[in-house]
Amino acid sequence: MDKVIRIGTRESQLALWQANLVKDLLTAQGFSTVLVPIKSDGDIDLVTPLYEIGVQGIFTKSLDLALLNDRIDIAVHSYKDVPTQLPKGLINAAILERGPVKDLLVYKHDTQFLEDSTYVANIATSSIRRKAQWLRRYPQHQLHNLRGNVNTRLQKLASENWDAAIFAAAGLERIGVRPPESMILDWMLPAPAQGAIVVACREDDTFCREALTPLNHADTALCTGIEREFLRYLLGGCTTPISAYAYIQEGELYFEGNLCNLDGTLSLTVSHQLPVAKTAGLGTSAAKEILAQGGDAIIEEIKHVQR
């Protein structure tokens, strides 16, 4: 009898879209699959700001436990939600080809408020990274916490007296809910691995590891690996405004990494262009450059504020 691969997923529309994408890819290879929806702590508590929850792995922990307890065989995650240190016994078996990477501003009426330096706009996001970058550009604006899945956040924006909210473009575009009243924030550097989907499984599950191998996209795996190496070396998570983006063009890898303090008044950036064959250790060396520029002081300041 054929083994049925049990695919663990969160229950949001976006998570189910991502899990169904993996399901379709495995089905096309001839595997039998079934979806197993599982609630995460991040889906249950929609009030507490992410950085107050002890956020590392908040959206992945429940699926990790289900994997370790053999309730599911594989788990599908937004890669940017996955901690850089995986639980013992689990591996990231496939990173799918990356989707849209950038952040997106969804606005209520128009974007004229962005040109008016005297107007105090109300902008919503739960991301400490987006808040820091936004305040660096628009220090007069008021930032508000916005939690929940994509649809919940869009509804909240509609009901609150806010001017706009910031989303990952991939989340809205994948499930077809990007409003016409939106614009890509080209100037905002994304979270490490934003726009990428990862599939995890048990390290000793050779059947699933082999099934997932053809789903792995080498360029995406390389780029997101460098971004996450940068994040890991800086000891960052959702509690630190760390951004990183790597992409490949004509055999060259382009990388940009950034660390901000919480209000965006201090910002350190590093950028590199290297042949793909010479990118080993780039995430670590870039992080060391950030620390040498004064990044260690920024990280200590953030830790002190959040104690």
Neighbour count for residue 252 (Cβ, 10 Å): 13
Distance CA 130, CA 32 (A): 40
How many angstroms separate the first and last alpha carbons of the chain?
A: 54
Contact 248, 276 (CB under 8 A): yes
Decide if 81 is catalytic.
yes
Residues 183-197 have pLDDT tens digits of 999 999 999 999 999
Report yes or no on whether pTM surpasses 0.75: yes
Neighbour count for residue 152 (Cβ, 10 Å): 14
Residues 110-163 have pLDDT tens digits of 999 999 999 999 999 989 999 999 999 999 999 999 988 899 999 999 999 999
Distance CA 2, CA 10 (A): 25
Query: How do the pLDDT tens digits run along the chain, 307 residues long?
Result: 479 999 999 999 999 999 999 999 999 999 999 999 997 654 444 444 444 433 456 678 899 999 999 999 999 999 999 999 899 999 999 999 999 999 999 999 999 999 999 999 999 998 999 999 999 999 999 999 998 889 999 999 999 999 999 999 999 999 999 999 999 999 999 999 999 999 999 999 999 999 999 999 999 999 999 999 999 999 866 689 999 999 999 999 999 999 999 999 999 999 999 999 999 999 999 999 999 999 999 999 998 887 7
Check 81, 103, 163, 205 and give the catalytic one.
81
CA angle at residue 299 from 298 to 300, to 5 degrees? 90
